[in-house]
Amino acid sequence: MTQVFPRFVAAVVMAGAGHAALAAPAISSTQGALSGGSEITVNGSGFGSTGPKIVLFDDFERGTAGQSLSSSAPVGSWSDPGSVIYTSDARTGRSGALVYNGSSGSMRKMTASLGGDQTEVFYSFWVRIPDGGFFPGRDVTGPKMFSSDSSWKFTWLMDGSDAYNSDGFDMCFPTHTGRGSFQVAGNDYNFLSLGNDWWSWNSWMRVSVWVRGGSSLPTSSSSTGFFQTVSQEKGLDTKEFGVEKIFQGGGISSKFSVINIPGWIRTGITDSRIKPVHDDIYIATGKGAVARVEVADAATYAQAKTISILPVTSWSDGKIVAKVPQAGVGSASTWYVYVTDAEGRMNSQGIPLNSKVTLPSPPTNVRVE
């Protein structure tokens, strides 16, 4: 398949979020198959020399329902798999991760070390309440009901294992604070109200988070971040923010060393119908944390309803090789490839897998103001 782009190529959006950017990645060809364990190759230009340092990727295919979670993952490992068990509820493949123990009324928690102090983190996870399951909380009496209490911190990113009790950084992406209200917040600082328009009772949801700190915070205007969700029911939603503001409350360390998934779930409720599930968790750090290869089910990222990350095995400015998770990526009539660079810039139009693109020569005598 060969595509020819028009003379003027639209500026990209940052991670599909709507901000114009120049010098975006340009894909010239893609090769490979999306079968589990295979590789795809992406050729082009403008990818940059800096790719992600992948701390962990787990598609939860290393065990079967009822078994304890293995600390080892397809990429990296959990520093503490906790009491999480595999479940047959899964977005892809045969297994997901069950993060609540209904028989004892206790949460099951996975912990990933980020490998020391980090100033930039990107992570992504899929989450769902299975059909017939209950949302965590004290007063839920049926499916598709939010609790009235604060009941679930989906992920807890922090500086130190006890940052929520100290002046170190801690922030949850997201936290349910009651009655369907979701926030980006730490233990003592609410940063961003998310509402619940992104929440789906009927399909898996992917949550992606990019946080970039550093010694120049909290005054640096270049620091960037986003909270992004996508699902079959609700499509794509991105909320961007100046990350420097996060560090004005709840500690000013502007660095991260550990992430807990889930961060916390309301305990003491013995009900087997409380069964939140995670799948396909990806965590990357470093200056290229946000850099990634993804496949989506739409030629325009903003129109996608399912997006899967392919963990990168090699990265250069003109060529990237990425591996397909063993569990695969789901189903779509056509998969389109997207490359995001270390600054969050992305090709504006998705390129179908196994296709070539004829790009126009750059215009001459053009000044950009």
Does residue 364 belong to any structural domain of this protein?
no
Q: How far apart are CA 283 and CA 208, in angstroms?
A: 10
Does residue 365 belong to any structural domain of this protein?
no
Does residue 368 belong to any structural domain of this protein?
no
Does residue 114 belong to any structural domain of this protein?
yes
Q: How far apart are CA 110 and CA 163, in angstroms?
A: 17
Q: Based on the domain organization, do 39 and 155 belong to the same domain?
A: no
Among the residue ranges 82-91, 180-189, 322-331, 348-357, the one predicted with the least confidence is 180-189
Q: Based on the domain organization, do 157 and 275 belong to the same domain?
A: yes
- C-alpha angle 29-124-252 in degrees, rounded to nearest 5: 120
Q: Which domain holds residue 93?
A: 53-285
Mean predicted confidence (pLDDT) in 116-132: 95
pLDDT of residue 221: 46
Which of 267, 285, 303 is the endpoint of a domain?
A: 285
CB 339 within 8 A of CB 15: no
Does residue 327 belong to any structural domain of this protein?
yes
How does residue 9 score in pLDDT terms, banded at 50, 70 and 90? Answer: very low
> Does the predicted TM-score (pTM) go above 0.85?
yes
Q: Based on the domain organization, do 90 and 186 belong to the same domain?
A: yes
Secondary structure (3-state) at 301: helix
Q: Based on the domain organization, do 234 and 347 belong to the same domain?
A: no
pLDDT of residue 188: 66
Mean predicted confidence (pLDDT) in 203-223: 71
pLDDT at 250 over 50: no
Q: 193 — phi, psi (to 5°)? A: -85, 130
Q: What is the CATH number of the domain that holds 12?
A: 2.60.40.10
pLDDT at 18 over 50: no
Mean predicted confidence (pLDDT) in 175-191: 89
Q: Based on the domain organization, do 27 and 173 belong to the same domain?
A: no
Q: How far apart are CA 181 and CA 308, in angstroms?
A: 27
Secondary structure (3-state) at 109: coil
CB 11 within 8 A of CB 344: no
Nearest Cα neighbor of 227 from 134, 330, 154 is 154
Which of 234, 269, 285 is the endpoint of a domain?
A: 285
Q: Based on the domain organization, do 251 and 332 belong to the same domain?
A: no
Q: What is the CATH number of the domain that holds 65?
A: 2.60.120
pLDDT of residue 364: 57
Which of 223, 258, 285 is the endpoint of a domain?
A: 285
Does residue 180 belong to any structural domain of this protein?
yes
Q: Based on the domain organization, do 28 and 164 belong to the same domain?
A: no
Q: Based on the domain organization, do 8 and 120 belong to the same domain?
A: no
Q: Based on the domain organization, do 36 and 69 belong to the same domain?
A: no
Q: Which two tokens stand for residue 197?
A: 């328009």
Peptide bond into 52 cis (omega under 30): no
Condensed to tens digits (0 to 9), the pLDDT of residues 185-206 reads 888 677 889 999 999 999 999 9
pLDDT of residue 260: 97
Does residue 369 belong to any structural domain of this protein?
no
Condensed to tens digits (0 to 9), the pLDDT of residues 266-283 reads 999 999 999 999 999 999
Q: Based on the domain organization, do 171 and 39 belong to the same domain?
A: no
pLDDT of residue 159: 87
Q: Based on the domain organization, do 30 and 178 belong to the same domain?
A: no
pLDDT at 289 over 70: yes
Q: Based on the domain organization, do 200 and 238 belong to the same domain?
A: yes
Total count of domains within the chain: 2
Does residue 39 belong to any structural domain of this protein?
yes
